[in-house]
Amino acid sequence: MKTPIPHNIVRSVIEDINLPNFGKATIREIVTITNKIEKLTGERYIRMEMGVPGLEASAVGVKAEIAALQAGVASKYPSLDGQHNLKQEASRFIRAFIDTDIPAACCIPVVGSMQGTYASYLTALQSNSSKDTVLFIDPGFPVQKQQLVVMGYKIESFDAFEYRGERLIKKIESFLKNGNIAAISYSNPNNPSWICLQESELEGIGRLATEYDCIVVEDLAYFGMDFRRDLSQPFKAPFQVSVSQYTDNYIMLISSSKAFSYAGQRIGIAAISEELYYRYYGDLEARYTVGEFGNVFVNRVLYSLSAGTSHSAQYALAAMFKAASDGDFNFLGEVSEYARRAEKVKEVFLKHGFEIVYLDDLGQPIGDGFYFTIRYPGMTGAALMEELMYYGISSISLETTGSLQEGLRICTSFIQHDQYDDLEYRLACFAENHGN
Ligand SMILES: Cc1ncc(COP(=O)(O)O)c(C=O)c1O
């Protein structure tokens, strides 16, 4: 069977890597395999495996960061709880785009959302020593589970595919009833499926978090990127939906990586509800001699992890938040390019017999954005991922994300304008070879 990329070369590279189970290959392993094949064949892959921004870093941020460096911030340690102006602007941004009030004091810069989730899980788990588990609403971002493995805590999870609306709330409650869940974790919009939890679902999660006294870690890595609604107008509805409207037990993580294409500088904000920030926990005091949640988060946990967040990047993020809240910088206008790419890429996949796996949010078709999920009738996710390598398309299997569905995550961020014809040709070959 003829394939767009020579079969023997792809086969030998996959065999050389010697993975026990190709379907469980991590993103980084797929990157290595794909780079190697590209080098050997001179063929450019359509890279859909890695969730990295495919756009230039926001110019507003770059300019402010350069100015901060020139002003000499590089030689000075940043304060642990963040630069004053950034805290003010983060609080204002949250009011402008989520319609939630969080005092500046409770908005803490972190070294990417990654550090934010690590610190959030750890502080949540340590605040109540009778709870040792984080509940993940899957599918999800595998590294967050790895963070718990690193810390030595426990994980519960379930695939939201079958559980939306009231069923989702009942499912979460079935875990909370066991009394061991310190935190509930999800991303919204969701990596990898791009499902978006709806207000009614967040309302239910918030209610349960209050009732069972557990902390919601709400990962807004794809802030505002549910492009079905225009969330780009500051201080005007509609807003980014958030559990912060429904409980006081939450930490929101706002990343600069995707919304501002600022992944390289590793900065985000952990926005802790005021009630939680100042809440006293005896178990924290016993361990740290201070008992306030926010105090421990900043002065014990973040101090131990990185002693603050890059000083110059804080100036960048402050400038981007300010320009967005002032209405001078439509950051969602810039990243809506991902939706345009998704629309085109989806169309080509669907035309050639593929199907979308995670299809809708309570009956409303999912939007076009950073990711979507596909399957091909009769093929497992692992087999499909490997098979597409022979057609010059790299992706990751849903298996690695906690999904129980057979399919792939397709990331739209990296496809280049001149690759749509290649995608069309390669998928047409695939369909022909697979009897479609
Ligand atoms: C759901 C989710 N959370 C967090 C991150 C990482 O964010 P950051 O770069 O701010 O650490 C990603 C990146 O891909 C993500 O998909």
Q: What angle do CA 407, 169, 200 make, to 5 degrees?
A: 95
Closest to 51 (Cα-Cα) out of 433, 305, 335, 283: 335
Task: Determine the Cα angle at 340 with ends 388 and 351, to 5°.
Answer: 45
How far out from the chain centre does Cα 406 lie?
21
pLDDT of residue 309: 98
**φ, ψ for residue 361 (rounded to 5)?**
-115, 105
- Whole-number pLDDT of residue 436: 62
Ligand 1 centroid distance, CA of 221 (Å): 5
- Quote the pLDDT of residue 26: 83
**How many percent of the chain have pLDDT more than 70?**
100
What is the Å distance from ligand 1's center to 413 Cα?
Answer: 14
CA 15 – ligand 1 centroid, Å: 31
In order of 41, 240, 338, 341, the CA distances from 232 in angstroms are 43, 9, 15, 19
- The answer to whether residues 64 and 52 touch, using CB atoms and an 8 Å cutoff, is no
Residue 276 has pLDDT above 70, yes or no: yes
Residue nearest to atom 14 of ligand 1 (CA): 51
The CA-based dihedral angle spanning residues 150, 151, 152, 156, taken in that order and rounded to the nearest 10 degrees? -90
Q: Which atom of ligand 1 is nearest to the CA of 190?
A: 1
List domains and CATH numbers for the chain.
7-55+334-433 (3.90.1150.100), 59-325 (3.40.640.10)
In angstroms, the CA 308 to CA 360 distance is: 40
pLDDT tens for residues 336-388?
999 999 999 999 999 999 999 999 999 999 999 999 999 999 999 999 999 99
pLDDT in tens, 214-223: 999 999 999 9
Give the residue, out of 141, 143, 262, 265, with the most ligand 1 atoms within 8 A of its beta carbon, to mutate for a pocket test. Answer: 141
Query: Each residue of 74-97: pLDDT tens digit?
Result: 999 999 999 999 999 999 999 999
For tokens 């069309």, the residue is 424
Mutate to test the pocket of ligand 1, among 26, 254, 257 (most ligand atoms within 8 A of CB): 257
Residue 360, beta-bridge partner list: 365
Which residue's CA is minimally distant from atom 2 of ligand 1? 221
Q: Which residues line ligand 1 (CB under 6 A)?
A: 51, 112-114, 141, 187, 191, 219, 221, 255, 257, 263, 268
Q: Is the peptide bond before 139 cis (omega within 30 degrees of 0)?
A: yes
Q: Which of 28-32, 82-86, 162-166 has the lowest mean pLDDT?
A: 28-32
Q: How many Å apart are CA 237 and CA 23, to the nearest integer?
A: 42
Distance in Å, CA 260 to ligand 1 centroid: 13
Residue 42 Cα to ligand 1 midpoint, Å, equals: 31
Q: Which of 189, 99, 98 is nearest to 140 (CA)?
A: 189
Q: Could you identify the atom of ligand 1 that is nearest to the CA of residue 219?
A: 3
Query: How wide is the angle at C-alpha 275 spanned by C-alphas 153 and 295, nearest 5°?
Result: 60
User: Tell me: the pLDDT tens digits for 166-178?
Assistant: 999 999 999 999 9
Tell me which residue has tokens 């911030």.
73
Nearest CA to ligand 1 atom 7: 113
**Quick one: which atom of ligand 1 is closest to the CA of 115?**
11
Atom from ligand 1 closest to the CA of residue 256 = 10
Cα–Cα distance for residue pair 239/233, rounded to 1 Å:
8
Residues ≥6 apart with Cβ < 8 Å to 225:
189, 258, 259, 332, 335, 338, 339, 369, 370
Ligand 1 atom closest to residue 255's alpha carbon, by position in its atom list? 10
Tracing tokens 């040792």 back to the chain, one arrives at 132
- Looking at every residue in the chain, the average pLDDT score rounds to 95
CA angle 334, 338, 344 (to 5 degrees): 135
* Per-residue exposure over 132-159, b if at least 16 CB sit within 10 Å of its own CB, e if not: ebbbbbbbbbbebbebbeeeebbbebbb
Give the model confidence (pLDDT) of 198-247 as tens digits.
999 999 999 999 999 999 999 999 999 999 999 999 999 999 999 999 99
In this prediction, residue 177 carries a pLDDT of 98
At 130, which amino acid appears?
A: S
Q: What predicted TM-score, i.e. pTM, was given to this entire model?
A: 0.96
